A and B are shown apart, each in its own frame.
Chain A
Amino acid sequence: GDSVTQMEGPVTLSEEAFLTINCTYTATGYPSLFWYVQYPGEGLQLLLKATKADDKGSNKGFEATYRKETTSFHLEKGSVQVSDSAVYFCALLTGANNLFFGTGTRLTVIP
């Protein structure tokens, strides 16, 4: 079945470090891929998305490229800030209404 496997955390980085959070997926058909972010005490917010192979989603300095050949959608940021501390979820949308989430990766950025 359709599923998302996400890098387990927690991840702790110093400010201005490079971030990668790995995400791979299994799906039939041609899914859309998303990264959501959850700040403490809040709901999930869409961070970026890609709807077809080789698309690159980007927002707030974060990027992820839809790689069909490796079934991956890794999240990257060149220089993290303390304000990026949150839980990040990779998600896959297939067919009608089915959004599958990874287990989430908690990122803590220290000054």
Chain B
Amino acid sequence: NAGVTQTPKFRVLKTGQSMTLLCAQDMNHEYMYWYRQDPGMGLRLIHYSVGEGTTAKGEVPDGYNVSRLKKQNFLLGLESAAPSQTSVYFCASSYSINRGQPNEQFFGPGTRLTVL
């Protein structure tokens, strides 16, 4: 099993450009998440999904959109990139057990995004 994979690993954008980050998992997990990691701030949740076709906002959703058209994929989009979105982005997934409560999350290797 590959676990959680992310594409691309690195990207440089100019302000105003758009892009999509792809996350894929082969563990048949129901839940998927997108985080950003910034120095001194830990990880913060951007959006998450509890199943195919469903998404919800996390702590810092502004400027991002997501889609979960297939259970194994979770896409993060930036419609008009801003320098404040320079960060490392991590995708994660988890299975749900025990009355639908999520369990520990498995993380991808990250995407380093720089917006000039």
Contact = CB atoms under 8 A, between A and B. Distances in A.
> Chain A contact residues: over half helix, strand or loop, or mixed?
strand
Contacts of B100: 96
Interface in B80-116: 90, 92, 100-102, 104-110
Given A96-B102, A101-B43, A43 B4 contact: yes
Contacts, number: 49
Contacts of A101: 42-44
A103 B31 contact: no
Tell me what chain B mostly uses at the interface: helix, strand, loop, or mixed.
Answer: strand
A72 B56 CA distance: 30
Contact of A98 (B4, B40, B45, B106): B45
Interface residues of A, number: 22
Interface in A48-64: 49
Interface string B15-39: 0000000000000000101000000
Interface of B: 4, 31, 33, 40-45, 48, 50, 56, 90, 92, 100-102, 104-110
Interface of A: 4, 6, 34, 36, 41-46, 49, 89, 93, 95-99, 101-104
A108 to B, nearest CB: 17
B109 A43 contact: yes
A103 B33 CA distance: 18
Given A96-B101, A97-B48, A97-B50, A46 B106 contact: yes
Contacts of B48: 97
A43 B110 contact: yes
